[in-house]
Structure formats: C-alpha cells, structure tokens
Amino acid sequence: MEGLRRADKAWLELCNGPQREPPKVIHETSAPLPLCAKVYDAVILGGTLGIFHGAALALRGRRVAVVERGKLQGREQEWNISRSDMKVFVDMGLVSEAELEAAIVSEFNPVRMGFEGRVEVTTHDVLNCGVLPAMLIEAVKQRFLAAGGTLLEGLAFQEAAVHPEGVLVQLQPVRSGRVPTGAGGAGGEAAELQTVSDGGSSGETVALAAGVLVDAMGSFSPIARQARRGAKPDSVVLMVGCCASGLPPAPAADLLYAFTELDRARQLQYFFEAFPARDGLTTYMFAYTDPAPGRASLEEIFKDYLSLLPRYRGVDDLRGVELKRAFFGFVPNWYDSPLHPVTSRLMHVGDSAGNRSALSFAGFGAMARHLQRLTDGLECALDGGLVGRGALGLLQPRSPAISMTNAMQQTMGTRAHQDFAAQDFDDDIIVDYLASSFSAMRDMGPAVYRPFMQDYLQWSLLARIVAKQIASSPGKLLRMTLFLRSPAAGAAFVGNFFGIMVYDALYRLAGLVGPAHHFLLKPFPALLFRWDCLVDAFKYGSANDYVVENVSSS
C-alpha cells in the first residue's frame, strides 16, 4: 500500500496544488562547447523506451548513449500490443524473430469492446499479445551494446546547455560509487566520461556531449515540464488494477467494457480492461477526468475497483483470489501535443512528446508505430546538420488524428465545470452515447471498427460513424452535447475532423507528385528533409499508416 499512497500523494498534489513555474533545466548559449572525452551523435535520456530508439540508431552506425536513472530492466507486468505492430522491431534488426517470440508470453483471442446490456463488438488480433518487458528490453539492449552503443545506468538528468557545436548534458549519480555502464563485455565500448565538480554535492557530475539530446523521460520529464511552463494536464486517465489468479478464465479479452453508470459521488465513469497474463488474469479499471480540486483519491478508486471486480468477473466475492501484482497511477494528457522543442538540438519522443492517443494511452504501441519514421528522420537531420528547433520540430508535427482523440476523450469522461447535482442528464449518459457509437460501428463491419480499436482515426470512417449516429440516435448526440457543457469541445471535434480530411487529401496529392519532388530535391538535402517530414505529417496525421489486415471478426 506504500506505493499506492505515494502515487496518491502525487495525484492529489496535482489536483489541489497551484501551477508552478518549473526549474529551467535546458538553455541555449553562444559559448563554445567545452571539450569532453566523448562526443555522441545522440544522447537519449530514459532507457525503458529510449533503448529502442538508441538501438535503431546504433545499428545504423551512430554513436549513441542511453542514460537510465536506475537499472535498465522492464516491469513485471506485460505490455499488450498487436503482433503486427511488433514487426518493426524485427524489420529494423532490433531483435530476431526467435527473440520476439520468446518475449511474447501470452497470446489470446478474441478481444471485445462493449457495454453491458447494450452492445458488444468483438474482433481478433488487436492488442492480443502480452510481451514481457524485461525479456524484450534485454534483447534490444544486447543488440544496442553489440552495435557499439553506450549504456549508462544509475544516472539522473540534471541540466543541459545547448552550444553552437552541440549539447553538454550534466548527469548526477543517483547513488555514490562508480558510474555503472552496461557496455563492457557486451560488444560495446566502456564509457569514457568527463567528470566535473558540481559545487559541493555528494557525487560528481558526469558530462556528456551530443549532437542531439533525445528526451524519452516520460510525461513528467523535467525538460517537457519546462517546455509546458509547468502547466497542469488538460486531462488524465486514472488507472488501478491487478494481476490475480483464481478468477474464472476470460472468454475474451476486454479492450473497453462498462457495466456501471456514472458515479455522481466520485464524478467518474468507470471502464474495465481484462487481459490473460502468464500467471493469471490482469484487470484494470480506469476513468477519464481532469486534475481539479476535490477529485477522488486513487485509494478510493482502488477500493471501488475491488468492490466491482467480483461483478465484472462473475464471482460472488474475492475469496480464493490471489492478488499477485497491483497497479495504480495516472496518465496525463496535454492538448498541445505533440510537444515541440524549446531549444535547438532537442527532440522529444514517446510520452515526453505526448505523441500518443488520449483514448488508449498506449505509450509502447505509439513508440512502435513511430519508431521507423523517427529513426529515419533523425538520421537525416544528423547527416544534414538540421538540428535547429524548426527542423527537429518537424519530426513531431501537429497531428489532427491525435488531437481528435483529445476531443473524443471528453465524451468518455468528466470535467470540473460540469454540474453533477443537476438533474438534466441521466446517470447512463456516457455509456448510452458510447453504446450508440459502437452500435453504428458494429453495423458497418470490421472495416470501420478495427481501425478505431487500434487508434487509427480516418476521416472517412469518422464521417460514416457520425452520419450513422445522426440517422439512428440524434437524441443521444444532443444529450451528450448538453452534458459536455463546452462549445469548445464541439468546435475541437469539428475542427479536427476537417483537419484529418485536409491531411488525407494532401497526403494523396503528395503521393502523386512525390517521385518528381524527390528527383528535383535530391541535390538539396535540407529541402528534401522538410518535404519528407511534411509528407509524414500528412500520412500519420490522417491515419494513413493503417495497414488493412485479413482477420476474422464478429
């Protein structure tokens, strides 16, 4: 319970505390870059997902250092992802097919999204693989080291100075003693580090120099907090759960399932997930809301979860059920995502950039989706010296498809400005509205609902869904509009819908003129880089990276 209380403390401080200007941890200077024992092409802060980016670059001959605050090892609980989404790891040489198969410790079908007594939609091969992070990360780490990468563990990011020639990164040992490196004896080089006095702390500051600093430290990265000026998240996903044995076998995995009405006391609508795991069944309960004073604590939500779990799994009580691992926390979301760098020679990836869906909050899946694109783009930027804010910002462009998930999330959650004492909406308002959406998708078949289940929001599919809802359930759309009490939410939906449509048209147009542009721009690498980034922005911003698969669905 200590971990739960620590998470709760952070959550309640976010809700009730004032917005504070964070410390300035990165800045630009015109002074020359100090001499360092080792200069890297890229220094990546944050190893859990950063090791994937590091390995991809190291395998292309880049000098890369990955820095991890603790020991680089994955969590015990599986990551859930589709098998097709992991193909990129093999294609890019990060793991072999055998290593990937060994890391997949559970696989299951079918998967379901539904609302009790209303509608269920089932399909196959969507988020149906449980990957053991420790095993996958170890395989990628060994490939990284064998390619000459440098791994630095036990070091925390302190600050960075961006000089004209590169970035000087200061790292602070988390504990006293020798700075560990995972490179020795694994085909990589032992780290050659310059140490400088840090003005009286208990340890020495480790200095690294790099052409580009990659921030993979997650949602609450100190660099990302500086970029956002300490702004509170616009929304959060509150999540609790556990892996347990003794529960009845699940006939299907659940990506999204609701069987309760809106809890007016908690001001939350609960949803559930369930995935078979290697040592039991993993279930999560989550809710979308905003960090506002008076929000329920994670401890209160965890108690609700334990009281609802028997009903969800069809048992009388939890006697005979063994809780192996408990989970609790919150995933923040900002509407100004993906995040652009505040200095030159800086790039955000993963949750630090916010380049993921606000609906599924799947950081691992988003990393896999963008790994090839970001690796290609960063390599071109390094080759051409295109390391300014504008150039590197092109690698994380505005995406109306991601912004649309922010707009859609509002129909699934609650906000502080809503009046929960009012009687002008029913307790089933959210579930009823979502059930009508999924009924429309089910009627139109897997070609419509499978992309949605995987966070690919294409304008043609959205248009069909909305048109179907207007035709079949206009009253539910009106009720939801009144419940939201936010003209901005409706404007955001409409604006992003047309944004996706425009990006789709521009991507198709780019496909027609692309070969000629590549031929004409080949002598001008900087222009070609910007053209490729623009085409990628249109492609991913309109979800045209979706690949149609032939699977059975019902």
In contact, 181 and 154? CB cutoff 8 Å = no
Quick check: bond before 341 cis, omega within 30?
no
User: Are 141 and 240 contained in the same domain?
Assistant: no
Q: Are residues 388 and 403 in the same domain?
A: no
Contact 394, 376 (CB under 8 A): no
* Residues 387/430, Cβ–Cβ less than 8 Å: no
Identify which of 343, 340, 552, 549 has the alpha carbon closest to the alpha carbon of residue 456.
Answer: 549
Range of the domain at 437: 399-554
CA angle at 281 for the pair 275 and 283, rounded to the nearest 5° = 60
In terms of Cα–Cα distance, which of 545, 375, 373 is closest to 455?
A: 545
467 in a domain, yes or no? yes
Q: Structure pTM?
A: 0.92
Are 388 and 437 within one domain? no
Residues, the chain: 554
Cα distance between residue 469 and residue 324, in whole Å: 42
The angle formed by the CA atoms of residues 245, 249 and 253, to the nearest 5 degrees, is: 105
Q: Give yes or no: residues 387 and 409 share one domain.
A: no
Give the SS3 label for residue 424.
coil
Q: For 388-408, b where at least 16 C-beta lie within 10 A, e where not — what string?
A: ebebbbbbbbebbbbbbbbbb
CATH number of the domain at 116, please.
Answer: 3.50.50.60
Give the torsion sign (CA, 396, 141, 359, 331). negative
Please give the pLDDT value at position 196. Answer: 33
Residue ranges of the chain whose pLDDT lies below 50: 176-202, 552-554
Count of domains forming the chain: 3
Is 21 within the bounds of a domain?
A: no
Phi, psi of 31 (to 5 degrees): -70, 150
- 187 and 269 together in one domain: no
Based on the domain organization, do 186 and 304 belong to the same domain?
Answer: no
The reply to whether 207 falls in a domain is yes
Query: Under 8 Å CB-to-CB from 302, ≥6 apart: which residues?
Result: 4, 240, 326, 328
Strands across the sheet with 129-131, in order? Answer: 79-81, 129-131, 104-107
Same domain, 283 and 149: no
Q: Residue 5: inside a domain, yes or no? A: no
User: Which helix (H) or strand (E) covers residue 520, if one does?
Assistant: helix 487-521
Return the pLDDT at 203: 61
- Using CB atoms within 10 A of its CB, is residue 186 exposed (0-12), middle (13-18) or buried (19+)? middle
Question: Which of 356, 377, 396 is the C-terminal boundary of a domain?
Answer: 396
> Do 221 and 127 lie in a common domain?
yes
Residue that is last in its domain, among 354, 369, 396: 396
- Same domain membership, residue 341 and residue 406: no
Query: Quick one: residue 39, left, alpha or beta (phi over 0 = left, psi -120 to 50 = alpha)?
Result: beta
Cβ atoms of residues 164 and 30 within 8 Å: yes
Specify whether the CB–CB gap between 310 and 284 falls below 8 A: no
The answer to the question of residue 537 being in a domain is yes
520 and 403 assigned to the same domain: yes
Boundary of a domain, candidates 283, 304, 333: 333
Whether 363 and 413 have beta carbons less than 8 Å apart is answered as: no
Residues 74 and 127 in one domain: yes
Task: Tell whether 149 and 65 lie within a shared domain.
Answer: yes
> Is 140 among the domain residues?
yes
279 within some domain: yes
Does residue 208 form part of some domain? yes
Structure confidence at residue 127 (pLDDT): 93
